[in-house]
């Protein structure tokens, strides 16, 4: 295969373990990748004064393709999310997360095959916020009162939920284009348009318009209110195919859907824009197991397979996926998260042992 230069952002927490494992697997599969390492994460705060140095954003821009490990975001206080900043600064407007059963991985179903397409730059998740007691919050509260839109308690913190026509059309078109390209049958838009008429209502209205553009492509379109989606998806995921979400619901549904197939340890993802793409697992930095060699690297490895597809190296990606399926089917080396998902009492193997098994499967 051709050589590709890729920016690797190991992140923090379990990031070093999962990205090192991923590098080993790609090397064993013969993927010719020139890794350019760039840093991001909580550990940089003291040295650089920021968890996301400008040089890291520049490295992604230079190589156009990156893969990252997770980055810790403190709850409540501290810096804003590195992930949100990367997605916004590089306009990675698509968050693509295939959810596929791997036999032997402890999923609730054997045949889940759905694709989450999450808008990645807008919505409550964009982090446009006003602190309780601030001048700006007071100004906003006053403005809301004066417009007659409602009233907000003076001791409120406020997060803004912008959903635009442009952002919605872009993400829904991506979902339909993806469905056409991959022979998918249906696109479902998920929303809460009954309550949030000017944000989710707009999302649904624009999704319906875009669906009409694709009427001759033979792809069914429907929509679901987010709470009903959650229940229906847990009861019978086979009724869904490609699912398009505004940012926050897509974030939550990603974990829910990962739970259907065995958990976060096997859920891959990608953040894609017109110019750049960053591949990363759905899971976070898992501080409870970080540094213990217990992390499951499958999600990072499968994210790398998505990257290889994106780079046009589908054959290598498919060989790695075959090896992953073989290791799970054999069931000899499974990490603790998967042992628990399968209900087994056996202890899990280490991240290294799992990676060894994957490398051995590739060399068979």
The structure tokens 């999923």 sit at 107
Q: Using an 8 Å Cβ cutoff, are 61 and 2 in contact? A: no
Report the C-alpha gap between 100 and 302 in whole angstroms. Answer: 11
- 284 near ligand NAI (CB under 6 A): yes
Q: Using an 8 Å Cβ cutoff, are 127 and 121 in contact? A: no
Q: How far is the CB of 170 from ligand NAI (least distance, A)?
A: 21
Q: Which is closer to ligand NAI, CB of 172 or CB of 267?
A: 267
Q: Which position among 83, 121, 199, 355 is part of the footprint of ligand NAI (CB under 6 A)?
A: 83
- E strand intervals along 250-296: 270-272, 277-280
Strand partners, 67: 8, 279
* Whether residue 223 lies in the annotated active site: no
| Distance, C-alpha 172 to centroid of its chain | 17
Name 145's Cβ contacts closer than 8 Å, sequence gap at least 6: 151, 152
* Whether residue 32 lies in the annotated active site: no
Strand partners, 114: 99
Q: How far is the CB of 86 from ligand NAI (least distance, A)?
A: 9
Q: How far is the CB of 329 from ligand NAI (least distance, A)?
A: 19
- 73 near ligand NAI (CB under 6 A): yes
Other Cβ atoms within 10 Å of 293 Cβ, number: 16
- 72 near ligand NAI (CB under 6 A): yes
Site string for ligand NAI, 242-271 (x = CB under 6 A): ----------------------xx------
What is the enclosing helix (H) or strand (E) of 280? Answer: strand 277-280
Q: Which position among 10, 51, 70, 106 is part of the footprint of ligand NAI (CB under 6 A)?
A: 70
Q: Beta 94-100 vs 270-272: how paired, if at all? A: antiparallel
Q: Using an 8 Å Cβ cutoff, are 100 and 113 in contact? A: yes
Q: Which position among 288, 343, 345, 363 is part of the footprint of ligand NAI (CB under 6 A)?
A: 288
Here the tokens at position 161 are: 């939920």
- Minimal CA–CA distance to 151: which of 161, 141, 160, 159? 141
- 286 near ligand NAI (CB under 6 A): yes
- 71 near ligand NAI (CB under 6 A): yes
Residue whose C-beta lies closest to ligand NAI? 284
Q: Which of residues 295-354 bind ligand NAI (CB under 6 A)?
A: 295-296, 299, 335, 337
Catalytic choice (12, 68, 125, 249): 125
Q: How far is the CB of 259 from ligand NAI (least distance, A)?
A: 10
Positions marked active-site: 125, 192, 227, 251
**What residues make contact with ligand NAI under the rule CB under 6 A?**
14, 18, 70-73, 83, 264-265, 280, 283-289, 295-296, 299, 335, 337
């Amino acid at each position: 295969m051709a050589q590709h230069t890729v920016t690797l952002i190991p992140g923090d927490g379990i990031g070093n373990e999962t990205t090192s494992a991923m590098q080993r697997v790609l090397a064993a599969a013969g993927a010719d990748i020139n890794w350019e390492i760039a840093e991001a994460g909580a550990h940089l705060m003291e040295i650089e004064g920021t968890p996301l140095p400008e040089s890291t954003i520049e490295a992604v821009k230079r190589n156009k393709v990156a893969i990252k490990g997770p980055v810790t975001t403190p709850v409540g206080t501290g810096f804003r999310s590195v992930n949100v900043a990367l997605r916004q600064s590089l306009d990675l407007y698509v968050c693509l997360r295939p959810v596929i059963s791997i036999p032997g991985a402890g999923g609730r179903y054997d045949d889940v095959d759905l694709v989450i397409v999450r808008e990645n730059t807008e919505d409550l998740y964009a982090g446009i916020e006003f602190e309780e007691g601030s001048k700006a919050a007071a100004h906003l509260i006053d403005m809301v009162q004066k417009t007659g839109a409602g009233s907000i308690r003076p001791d409120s913190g406020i997060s803004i939920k912008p959903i635009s026509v442009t952002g919605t059309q872009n993400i829904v078109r991506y979902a339909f284009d993806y469905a056409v390209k991959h022979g998918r049958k249906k696109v479902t838009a998920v929303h809460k348009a009954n309550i949030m008429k000017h944000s989710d209502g707009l999302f649904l209205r624009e999704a319906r318009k875009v669906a009409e553009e694709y009427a001759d492509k033979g792809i069914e379109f429907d929509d679901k209110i987010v709470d009903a989606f959650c229940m229906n998806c847990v009861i019978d995921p086979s009724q869904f195919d490609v699912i398009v979400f505004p940012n926050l619901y897509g974030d939550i549904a990603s974990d829910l859907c990962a739970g259907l197939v065995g958990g976060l340890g096997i859920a891959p993802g990608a953040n894609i824009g017109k110019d750049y793409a960053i591949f990363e697992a759905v899971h976070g930095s898992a501080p409870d197991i970080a540094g213990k060699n217990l992390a499951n690297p499958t999600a990072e490895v499968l994210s790398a397979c998505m990257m290889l597809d994106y780079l046009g190296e589908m054959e290598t990606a498919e060989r790695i996926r075959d090896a992953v399926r073989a290791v799970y089917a054999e069931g000899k080396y499974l990490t603790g998260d998967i042992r628990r998902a399968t209900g087994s009492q056996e202890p899990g193997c280490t991240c290294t042992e799992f990676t060894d098994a994957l490398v051995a499967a590739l060399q068979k």
